[in-house]
Amino acid sequence: MFSRAEFIRIQAMTGREFTIDAACNDDGSNSHCSVYASPKQSFFKHNITGEHIWVNAPFEQAKQWINHYKRCKANSPFDTSAVFVLPKTSNYDKIIQGMSLLCEYPKGTQLFTIPTKEGGREYI
């Protein structure tokens, strides 16, 4: 799960509250938003037009998420927005052309957590 504190910081940077978390597990326990997509409630079946979307998709499938976002954004370009968590690699250069870089992190930055036995979270 992406760090909750960092999610809140990024949300503040955008000036809007995220309305949907696009890539969660089925029970939503790793969602940062009350509305979320999951394998059983596929992001690709959601009409996200007009939404402000948080996307921390599996990196090897991120292009699919970006393409779906772009298709929906084309219907309402001024009120549809998203933040994508992506690794720094040239694999995405073409598909993210025209998008803005909000922030980047040095290699080794602790951004992801896993549940602990005690019910808390620890960085991985």
The confidence score (pLDDT) of residue 52 equals 98
**What would the mean pLDDT of 68-79 be, rounded to a whole number?**
95
pTM over 0.85: yes
CA distance 99 to 115: 33
Residue identified by tokens 């007009």 is: 50
Q: How confident is the model at residue 89 (pLDDT cuts 50, 70, 90)?
A: confident
Close Cβ partners of 87 (under 8 Å, ≥ 6 residues apart): 59
**Percentage of residues in the chain with pLDDT exceeding 70?**
97
Could you please report the per-residue DSSP string of 84-103?
E---SSGGGTTTTTTPPP--
Contact present, 16 and 81 (Cβ < 8 Å): yes
Q: How confident is the model at residue 21 (pLDDT cuts 50, 70, 90)?
A: very high
**Percentage of residues in the chain with pLDDT exceeding 90?**
73
